[in-house]
Structures are given as structure tokens and as C-alpha cells.
Chains A and B, each alone.
Chain A
Amino acid sequence: MIGNVIAGMFAEGVSGDFESIATVSVGVSGSATIDFSSIPSTYQHLQIRAIGKATGAGHEDLLVRVGNGSLDTGSNYTRHALFGQGTSAASQADINQSYARVADNWAPPSSGSIYGVIVIEILDYANTNKFKTFRSLNGRDSNGSGAVGLFGNLWRSTSAIDTIRLYPAANSFAQYSHFALYGIKG
């Protein structure tokens, strides 16, 4: 017996507790950064869902800076990471970084049609009493190489986040890279 469902048969809308805030699609000339600014404080959490590829010849880490009004470039970011690279699982930590590293070797090189994928959640982003923690589930598979990771990053600031920048460690994001920001209501 085969269970077969025609998509849309049971489609129905749900309440707007998960809302699209902004989306950026990278054009043919590429983009060095992806910026989300003037993010409203009306949600409980933020989620970024993205695919990306870099314009260079190697794989690029995916970095993030956040801020309130302007991006924090100080050494206020901390990271712990758990990742698997196909043979073993490993863990890393960074302290006092000037960015949050939300994925390692994430954006494949410009040749080919393979893109890294990531879901980032920024929890209680508008709270002014807490440091901000964001976690990411990220991965890239290239049929013989790649990695999958669970990363946690801390921004040591109690400021509400209204600005987010994503950028590759070098070079730019390539065409068809796509970044979508969502708000999750409490």
C-alpha cells in the first residue's frame, strides 16, 4: 500500500505567527554583504533561512554582525560549534570575536550549482535585559565533501537587535544566493 497525498488537498492558512519581514536575492553581479535593517521589535524571535554560494574559488565561512542602529564591530561575539565532516564529529569554540561565525566552509565556490543552506534563529532579539544568543543549523553537501553543523553564538550586548549583516569571510555572495528574514510572534 502506498500513501499518496495530493499537495494542496488539505491546504489551509494558519494565523500570522510566523511572518516574512524581508528577502534578498543576489543578482548577477554578486553582493559582498546582506543587510537587514530597521527590523521591528514586534516579534519574539527572528529566523533567517538562506542558501548561499561565494564568488571565490574556495569555500567560505558565513559571518554575522548585529547591532542597534549600527553594526557592532567590537570583540563581543562568542561561538561554540558542533559539526560533522563526513568521518568524525568535532567541536570548536571562539571567544572575543568581532563577528559571529554561524557556519564553517558554508558557501561553495562559484563554479557549480551547489549552495550551502542554513537556518539561523535569533532568540529574544528585542529584549533589553539579556545578551543575545543565536543558533544555526547549517550544511553543505557536494557528493564527496561537505559538512553539517550546529552552532551557537552569543552577542554580549543587551541592546535590542534591529540590524543584521551577513557576509562571507572573503569575496562575495554569488548570484542566486537567497536570504529570507522571518519574525516569530510570542
Chain B
Amino acid sequence: MPATYEPIATTTVSGSSTTSVTFSSISSAYTDIIVIFNGGGTNPSNIQMQLNSDTGTNYSTTSMYGTGTTATSARYTNLNLMYSAGVAAALPTTLSAMGIMSIMNYSNTTTNKTILSRYSNASAETTTNVSLWRNTAAIHTIRLFSYSQAFLDGSTFTLYGIKAA
């Protein structure tokens, strides 16, 4: 049986000046795609995402997170980015945060695109987000960044594709 869950691309941050990671020319051959992040940041915020180089205010996020003392929820509307991993605290300064971002039915051209994500930074927060990109275009490019701050040397981003029957 052919592989259903395939690695498409991966990048490992080298040095201290990588401020974004972009996956481009993504094949439309899958049903869902998943980005898995493991790493940290030098002085960043959480991880944000933009799709297909869209910098318009077409993104929104609903988040639920716990910080060790309380569990709460927040909503962000009409953003020019989505909060794809974490909302409450900055990335750790060690390679200890992880995020799994599922981009569902990314290649159809009839629905707005919704992303489910889970994120853990054991020293600060655990979070699950749902984010919307108000666009029906097929997704071919994913940009991940942390405002203009740098990811830690050794942080990894891996893009997977999941095929359906």
C-alpha cells in the first residue's frame, strides 16, 4: 500500500538570525498537511503563520490555553497573521517547545481554510488554537515566523502530507 502520511520537506534552523521559515510550491496531492515544530526562540513571541503570502487582514484565531494557574480562551479577529502555536507566552530559550499544526483540506478551492493546532511549552503554557484564513484558494505556501525575532539554532520545522483514499 502506498504511503499515506509522507514527509514533504523539513528545515533545521542554523545560526541565530533565521526569522522565518517558508514552505513553498506545496503539492496539491494530499488531503491535509501538517507542520510539526520543535524548538525555541531568542527573544520572540509565539509562532505566527501566513498563507500564500497573504499579508491582508484575513486571518482570525480562537484559542484555549492554560498557564499553570488558570485555563482561559481568547479570540483574535481581522489579523494579518494567525496564531498558529501558542498565545500566552514567548517561546522558550531552549529547544523545548513543540507545535502540531493541521491545515485541513488545504488544496480545495471552495472552502475557507481552517487550521487546528496544539502547542506545548512546558515552562509556560499548553494551548490549542483554531484559526481561519478567509480565502478559498488552494494553499501552496506557508510562512512561519515569530514577528521579527529569530528562532533558536536547531529548531526544526517539518511539513507532512496526508493522503485520503
Q: Which residues of chain A have a CB within 8 Å of any CB of chain B?
A: 1-23, 49-51, 53, 82-89, 112-119, 137-144, 146-150, 176, 178, 180, 182
CA distance A115 to B134 in the complex (A): 11
Tell me how far the C-beta of A86 lies from the nearest C-beta in chain B, rounded to whole angstroms: 3
Q: From DSSP, what is the main secondary structure of chain A's interface residues?
A: strand
Q: Assess whether B116 is in contact with A2, with CB atoms less than 8 Å apart.
A: no
Tell me how far the C-beta of A114 lies from the nearest C-beta in chain B, rounded to whole angstroms: 5
Residues of B within 8 A of A113 (CB): 110-112, 136
Q: Assess whether A176 is in contact with B165, with CB atoms less than 8 Å apart.
A: no
Residues of A within 8 A of B10 (CB): 5, 10
Tell which of B20, B22, B62 touches A85, judged by Cβ atoms closer than 8 Å: B62
Q: Which residues of chain B have a CB within 8 Å of any CB of chain A?
A: 1-11, 13, 15, 17-27, 31-32, 60-66, 71-75, 77-78, 102, 104-105, 108, 110-112, 114-116, 118, 128-132, 134, 136, 157, 159, 162-165
Additional 8 contacts, C-beta under 8 A, given A16-B4, A119-B102 = A6-B24, A8-B25, A8-B27, A49-B102, A86-B62, A142-B60, A146-B62, A150-B128
CA distance A15 to B136 in the complex (A): 33
CA distance A146 to B130 in the complex (A): 9
Tell which of B6, B22, B136, B162 touches A2, judged by Cβ atoms closer than 8 Å: B22
CA distance A23 to B163 in the complex (A): 10
Given contacts A2-B22, A176-B108, contact A49 B31 (CB under 8 A): yes
Residues of B within 8 A of A118 (CB): 116
Tell me how far the C-beta of B130 lies from the nearest C-beta in chain A, rounded to whole angstroms: 3
Q: Assess whether A180 is in contact with B165, with CB atoms less than 8 Å apart.
A: yes
Chain A residue nearest in CB terms to B151: A3
Q: Assess whether B2 is in contact with A23, with CB atoms less than 8 Å apart.
A: no
Q: Assess whether A3 is in contact with B2, with CB atoms less than 8 Å apart.
A: no
Tell me how far the C-beta of B82 lies from the nearest C-beta in chain A, rounded to whole angstroms: 9
CA distance A10 to B19 in the complex (A): 22
Residues of A within 8 A of B8 (CB): 7-8, 10-11
CA distance A21 to B108 in the complex (A): 21
Given contacts A113-B110, A115-B112, contact A143 B63 (CB under 8 A): no
Q: Assess whether B20 is in contact with A2, with CB atoms less than 8 Å apart.
A: yes
Q: Assess whether A6 is in contact with B25, with CB atoms less than 8 Å apart.
A: yes
Q: What are 13 inter-chain pairs, A to B, with CB distance below 8 A?
A: A5-B11, A8-B9, A11-B8, A14-B5, A14-B7, A22-B165, A23-B164, A53-B111, A84-B73, A84-B74, A139-B128, A139-B130, A180-B164
Residues of B within 8 A of A180 (CB): 31-32, 162, 164-165
Tell me how far the C-beta of B30 lies from the nearest C-beta in chain A, rounded to whole angstroms: 10
